[in-house]
Amino acid sequence: MNAAKRLEIFRRLHEDNPEPTTELAYETPFELLISVILSAQATDVGVNKATAKLYPVANTPEAIYALGVEGLSEYIKTIGLYNSKAKNVIETCRILIEKHGGQVPDNREDLEALPGVGRKTANVVLNTAFRQPTMAVDTHIFRVSNRTGIAPGKNVLEVEKKLLKFVPKEFLLDAHHWLILHGRYVCQARKPRCGSCRIEDLCEYKQKTSDD
């Protein structure tokens, strides 16, 4: 895919949604961090339902740490893998309190040192909370990048690096959200909705089914 196509793709995505953001509900960088940890192998809708009950009661490292693993588990037990996630969140809160003055660090090294925080989670926090030009590649972004030809790659890191290189600079801060939303609602895994896609004429996906 050439640069002109990529520019037009992101121009249209921007035109349709000028201020995209995560579908996770949050007010502070800390709330976002916890929600992203909880969202692994879970839906944003499911996480939001749990945090709607949790955050009014505890939405700081100190308050959640005070709940303990068992106390926190009661709020998040509707989310998959909640036992391991509760342990990670409590330990993360302890580290934030002891090493970072209760604040979420704004750099990759410190974020990835937190339990339950990998590269993707760190990228989400850096991009969404701190507005750094990072690219968190989830299954949606990986699929869209490969299927459309925007940034094909064999693994998530390869796709991430290509997106950072190929996405036009003026659209880089918000590209993560546009690609996730596009993959979630239009360029879906089993049956992409090509007929209602704004970038269909620019897409390099050739294997369209006969009823698209």
173 inside domain? yes
| Calpha distance 113→140 (Å, rounded) | 25
Q: What is the pLDDT of residue 206?
A: 60
Model confidence band, residue 119 (pLDDT cutoffs 50, 70, 90):
very high
207 inside domain? no
To the question of pTM greater than 0.95 for the whole model, the response is no
> Which domain CATH number covers 122?
1.10.340.30
Mean pLDDT of the 170-199 span? 94
Pick the catalytic residue: 53, 99, 138, 206? Answer: 138
| Calpha distance 141→75 (Å, rounded) | 30
> Which has more confidence, 164 or 210?
164
Q: What is the pLDDT of residue 207?
A: 45
* Same domain, yes or no: 40 and 86: yes
Whether the per-residue pLDDT at 54 is higher than 90: the answer is yes
Whether the per-residue pLDDT at 163 is higher than 70: the answer is yes
Whether the per-residue pLDDT at 208 is higher than 60: the answer is no
* Same domain, yes or no: 66 and 115: yes
Alpha helices by DSSP H, 101-171: 108-112, 119-128, 139-148, 156-166
Pick the catalytic residue: 44, 110, 120, 201? Answer: 120
Domain closes at, from 128, 158, 191? 128
Question: Which residue range is the domain that position 152 belongs to?
Answer: 3-20+134-202
Q: Is-catalytic flag, 120? A: yes
> Which has more confidence, 161 or 81?
161
In this predicted model, what pLDDT tens digit does every residue of 121-133 receive, in sequence order? 999 999 999 999 9
* Same domain, yes or no: 34 and 122: yes
**Quick one: which of 171, 166, 204, 176 has its CA closest to 3?**
166
User: CA-based diameter of the chain, in Å?
Assistant: 59
Domain closes at, from 128, 145, 168? 128
212 inside domain? no
119 inside domain? yes
* Same domain, yes or no: 38 and 102: yes
Q: What is the pLDDT of residue 139?
A: 92
Q: What is the pLDDT of residue 41?
A: 86
Mean pLDDT, the chain, rounded, equals: 93
Q: What is the pLDDT of residue 1?
A: 87
210 inside domain? no
Domain closes at, from 103, 128, 153? 128
Q: Residues forming the annotated binding site?
A: 187, 194, 197, 203
195 inside domain? yes
* Same domain, yes or no: 52 and 95: yes
65 inside domain? yes
Buried b (16+ CB within 10 A) or exposed e, 35-63: bbbbbbebebeebbebbeebbeebbbbee
* Same domain, yes or no: 120 and 190: no
Q: What angle do CA 162, 32, 26 make, to 5 degrees?
A: 125
Q: What is the pLDDT of residue 56?
A: 97
| Calpha distance 194→191 (Å, rounded) | 9
110: left (phi over 0), alpha (psi -120 to 50) or beta: alpha
208 inside domain? no
Q: What is the pLDDT of residue 28?
A: 97
Q: Residues forming the annotated binding site for [4Fe-4S] cluster?
A: 187, 194, 197, 203
Whether the per-residue pLDDT at 211 is higher than 50: the answer is no
In this predicted model, what pLDDT tens digit does every residue of 17-49 receive, in sequence order? 999 989 999 999 999 999 999 998 899 999 999
